[in-house]
Amino acid sequence: GGTIGILGGGQLGRMIAVAAKHMGYRIAVLDPTEDCPCAQVADHHIVADYDDTEAAERLSELSDVITYEFENVDLEVARLFEGAEKLPQGAYSLEVTQNRAKEKQIAVDAGLPVAAYEIVQTFDQFQKAMETIGFPAVIKTVSGGYDGKGQLPIGKEEDFDEVEKFIKEGGTYIVEQWITFDLEISQVFTRGLDGEITYFPVAENLHKNHILHETRVPAAVSDKVPKKAQEAVKALAEKIGIVGTFAVEMFVTGKDVYINEMAPRPHNSGHYTIEACSVSQFEQHVRAICGLPLLPIHSFPAAVMINVLGKHQDILHSRLENYSGFHLHDYGKGEARTNRKMGHITFIGNSLKEIDKQIKYNQIHMW
Ligand code: ATP
Ligand code: MG
Ligand code: MG
């Protein structure tokens, strides 16, 4: 028993809460939005900004243990919880993943391949960096970006004008070589307080407009790739001292695996684990932060998760009445804004071929 506090009340917070409630925990959530997805599931909702230290103290009083569901929560608040010995995930994991420069440095220190990169603060530094990185490249803000926001592709010298406008005084940016990958994968895993790691199957991720569209398991990679992915995340996990569920996004080119970015929490590409694995990324996360032994992971042979964005949610509900074969998750968000993640659906089966037939039959690929 006991109460788990969650910093952030989006869909990830909601799914952590649902898993925790099954296990008999109570939930307190801190989120500025009155009707955030987690509020419908939580026992207590503190409506306040993430950097509100008074609200944070209230969350701490209510909670035996605290977790964060996304990486852009206030680092000082996280340190406060860590000081009170209530944040098993730690603040360092957050500090690293809030900053692409730190993230890349950790990967380099762990001896893992990353796209060639330079950290720049001015347009002059950018031009200099491009001399070594070459075309094509991409420039990203070191912090705050997601779903492809806060980045600009650079294909040719004419794109420099855009970059000059993109670079703001006082900002810090990372310029990366563009990797022409075969596919993108993610390795979601959980590390316990005792250092034990369990790995979920490697997932293949397909993006549309820079937003995750579809996750496919098993990933279409050669035998060596999952082993490489596991070894890579193990090295990162031990360097960072990760506790809880964590995800690493990677690019695969042939046999090589490049580290792209990391998330110190359950991840969109791990949602398929709810139905496809004997323990989900959320339940395993709760077990890790509560100091329970992790469960071994057994999986269905194949799974596909598709994100439902914006108004497609309505289409989905009408589909449900006529079709079967998929599991629906509706996050209970109000306004169906374009590109807003409203829910997801998951197919499980014996093979991707069988699932693809189901997807076609359900006419899911209209969006
Ligand atoms: P997320 O929503 O996953 O947090 P993000 O906005 O933080 O994404 P990235 O994951 O760094 O940003 O980039 C978004 C996508 O852009 C990647 O999944 C990949 O498809 C593409 N991309 C980014 N950097 C590179 C690169 N160096 N080489 C090739 N493709 C890249
Ligand atoms: Mg990101
Ligand atoms: Mg990403």
pLDDT at 306: 94
pLDDT at 312: 78
Assigned CATH topology for domain 3-87 = Rossmann fold (3.40.50)
Domain ranges of the chain: 3-87, 116-177, 183-366
Task: Give the mutation target among 97, 103, 151 for probing the ligand 1 site: most ligand atoms within 8 A of CB.
Answer: 151
Read off the pTM. Answer: 0.97
pLDDT at 217: 98
CB atoms within 10 A of CB 335: 7
pLDDT at 321: 65
Cis ω for the linkage preceding 264 (within 30 of 0)? no
Rounded distance from Cα 317 to ligand 1 centre (Å) = 30
Are domains 3-87 and 183-366 of this chain identical in fold?
no
pLDDT at 366: 56
Rounded distance from Cα 212 to ligand 2 centre (Å) = 11
Q: Whose CA is nearest to atom 19 of ligand 1?
A: 210
Residue 208 Cβ inside 6 Å of ligand 1? The answer reads no
Residues 6+ apart with CB under 8 A from 8: 29, 30, 31, 38, 50, 68, 69, 70, 73
Residue 214 Cβ inside 6 Å of ligand 1? The answer reads no
According to CATH, the superfamily of the domain at 116-177 is ATP-grasp fold, A domain (3.30.1490.20)
pLDDT at 320: 67
Residue 176 Cβ inside 6 Å of ligand 1? The answer reads yes
Rounded distance from Cα 249 to ligand 3 centre (Å) = 6
- Secondary structure of residue 221 in the 3-state scheme: coil
pLDDT at 154: 98
Strand-strand pairing, 26-30 and 3-7: parallel
Q: Which residues are annotated as a binding site for ATP?
A: 100, 140, 145-151, 176-179, 184, 207, 260-261
* Index of the ligand 1 atom closest to the CA of residue 149: 6
* Index of the ligand 1 atom closest to the CA of residue 211: 2
C-alpha 69/C-alpha 264 separation (Å) is: 8
Mind listing the pLDDT tens digit for each residue in 166-180? 999 999 999 999 999
Residue 147 Cβ inside 6 Å of ligand 1? The answer reads yes
Nearest to 126 by CA among 177, 167, 162, 165: 167
The DSSP code for 166 is: H
Q: Which residues are annotated as a binding site?
A: 100, 140, 145-151, 176-179, 184, 207, 260-261
Specify whether the CB–CB gap between 119 and 102 falls below 8 A: no
C-alpha 266/C-alpha 268 separation (Å) is: 7
Please say whether the structural domain 183-366 has been given the CATH code 1.10.287.1770.
no
- Secondary structure of residue 208 in the 3-state scheme: strand
pLDDT at 362: 75
- Secondary structure of residue 294 in the 3-state scheme: coil
Rounded distance from Cα 39 to ligand 2 centre (Å) = 24
Q: Whose CA is nearest to atom 5 of ligand 1?
A: 146
- Secondary structure of residue 309 in the 3-state scheme: strand
Enumerate residue ranges in the chain where pLDDT < 70: 315-316, 319-323, 365-367
Task: Give the mutation target among 261, 339, 341 for probing the ligand 1 site: most ligand atoms within 8 A of CB.
Answer: 261
C-alpha 364/C-alpha 345 separation (Å) is: 10
Rounded distance from Cα 23 to ligand 2 centre (Å) = 30
